Chain A
Amino acid sequence: MLTCFTKLKRAWDFAYGTFRIRRMLLSFLAALSIVMGLFLLSMPIWLRIEFAYLYAGTASVVSFFMYGAFKGAFKSVIFSTILRRKYKVKEFTPEQYATFGVTQIINTMRIKKKVRVFLTENPWVNGPFTNGFTNSIYIPSSWVKKLPAVQEMRAVLGHELGHIKTRGRFLTELIVMISVVEGLTLLLGLFAIRLIDEIFGFSLFFLLLTNILWRNERRADLEGAKITGPEGLISVFEQLLAESKGDEGNETHPPLRDRIMRLSKPLDHDGMTGI
């Protein structure tokens, strides 16, 4: 009994820890929603409901996977920005702002918003991030030791400021995506029952959200590299790659090798040398 449980747990951990499997499952769910929607039309009403509940059960397992995938990202944002008092958050000192040339990067990027940089001790934050509301950048305190070189911290800040600069494009893409998903969901709603329709919309939303988030990361990489030069970011990614077990990316970030490859291209252009 225990062995069976252990095997099941291992299988779950493997499936849960693998981005590709999570994505496959979600694609399968979206495709299945269309098939189920059309299939259920040919059934008597009482049987439709039975099948719909069976299908909803399967979908809830996938939802659980999705919740797990985004849990870390949600917690880091919520705990750092909204619940600042729970974990200590310390703003950069004027010396740190000057050392890393934050103002210089902001001016060169022509960002008109007031940006603040914080160091956080939140254990859920495993990397620097910026939230979409307050123009604040959060960096885990451990990263100050992890990146002792000024150039690399500047590159990381450049990337985060790239997010702030291109937030408009990200939001536009997000709105377009939500409109497309809603449109398709309404279309399927003409043929399928509500429950299946909703699951289809949910799966498609998360599938496309990953694509948009990956595009957003690549855009921020490039914006940062334009200002601070691509070397710093490549170096940071190489270090992260050496520390990580696998490199298949996740729901919010593309694989590191892919990002390094994209940033390596500008290395041969003299124009992108950074400030």
Chain B
Amino acid sequence: MKFIDDGTAGAVMHPSRFKILQLLRQSKEPLFVEQISKELHIHPRMVSHHLDVLQELGLVESRYEVVNLNGSKRGVAVRMCFATPKVDEVLRQIRESVG
């Protein structure tokens, strides 16, 4: 139970982070902060914070892309995030520990 011992599982069990991870896992394409914020009704700054924490733990990866939002001509740089395969492993260990 490596991820339970090192605290990764505890970080995942945070209510907001768990929701964000579930959303990223279900999504077929990377999502950006505003999308996650609107979907889960969490403040964008809090989403960013949770993504930072998840990225620090290696559960999420992100890259910056320029996308055309709301008809902007030049585009806006947004942080596109996606879940890593480590998430499945952590969730599996949590399920096993709960029984």
The residue in chain A whose Cβ has the minimal distance to the Cβ of B47 is A231
Q: Is the CB of B56 within 8 A of A231?
A: no
Among residues of A, the one whose C-beta sits closest to the C-beta of B14 is: A239
Say if the beta carbon of B23 comes within 8 Å of chain A.
no
Cβ of A235 and Cβ of B7 under 8 Å apart?
no
Quick check: B45 and A231 within 8 Å, CB to CB?
Answer: yes
Residue of B nearest to A236 (CB): B14
- Please determine whether A149 and B57 come into contact, CB atoms closer than 8 angstroms: yes
Q: Which A137-187 residues sit within 8 Å CB-CB of chain B? A: 144-152
B49 touches A231 (CB 8 A): yes
Q: With a CB–CB cut-off of 8 A, which chain B residues contact A239?
A: 14-15
User: Is there contact, CB below 8 Å, between A149 and B10?
Assistant: no
Q: Which residues of B contact A242 (CB under 8 A)?
A: 13-15
A125 near B: Cβ within 8 Å? no
A42-59 interface code vs B (CB 8 A; 1 in, 0 out): 000000000000000000
Chain A stretch 205-240: residues in CB contact (< 8 A) with chain B: 229, 231-232, 234-235, 238-239
Judge whether A145 and B7 touch: CB under 8 Å. Answer: yes
> A235 with B50: in contact, given A145-B7, A145-B10 (CB under 8 Å)?
yes
The listed residue (A146, A229, A234, A267) touching B7 by CB distance below 8 A is A146
The chain B residue sitting closest to A155, CB to CB, is B49
A150 and B56 CA atoms in complex are apart in Å by 9
**B80 part of interface (Cβ distance < 8 Å):** no
Chain A, interface SS category? helix
Contact of B93 with A by CB under 8 A = no
From residue A113, how far is it (CB to closest CB) to chain B in Å? 29
Q: Is B8 interfacial (CB 8 A cutoff)? A: yes
B6 touches A235 (CB 8 A): no
CA distance A238 to B50 in the complex (A): 12
A237 to chain B, nearest CB (A): 11
Q: Find the B residue at minimum CB distance from A241.
A: B15
The yes or no answer to B52 lying at the interface (CB within 8 A) is yes
B84: chain A residues within 8 A (beta carbon): none
Given contacts A231-B45, A231-B46, A267-B45, contact A149 B15 (CB under 8 A): no
Contact A267–B6 (Cβ < 8 Å): no
**Mask: chain B, 1-32; 1 = CB below 8 Å from A; 0 = not:** 00001111011011110000000000000000
Contact residue among A144, A150, A238 (Cβ-Cβ distance under 8 Å from B14): A238
Q: Are B10 and A146 in contact (CB under 8 A)?
A: yes
Contacting pair A148 B7 (CB below 8 A): yes
Flag if B49 contacts A232 (CB, 8 Å).
yes
Jot down 24 A-B pairs with beta carbons below 8 A, ordered by A.
Answer: A145-B6, A146-B7, A146-B10, A147-B7, A147-B11, A148-B10, A148-B56, A149-B57, A150-B56, A151-B49, A151-B52, A229-B49, A231-B45, A231-B46, A235-B16, A235-B46, A235-B49, A235-B50, A235-B53, A238-B15, A239-B15, A242-B13, A267-B43, A267-B45
Query: Which 4 pairs across A and B sit closest by C-beta, in order of nearness?
Result: A231-B49, A148-B7, A149-B53, A145-B7
Interface residues of B (CB under 8 A from A): 5-8, 10-11, 13-16, 43, 45-46, 48-50, 52-53, 56-57
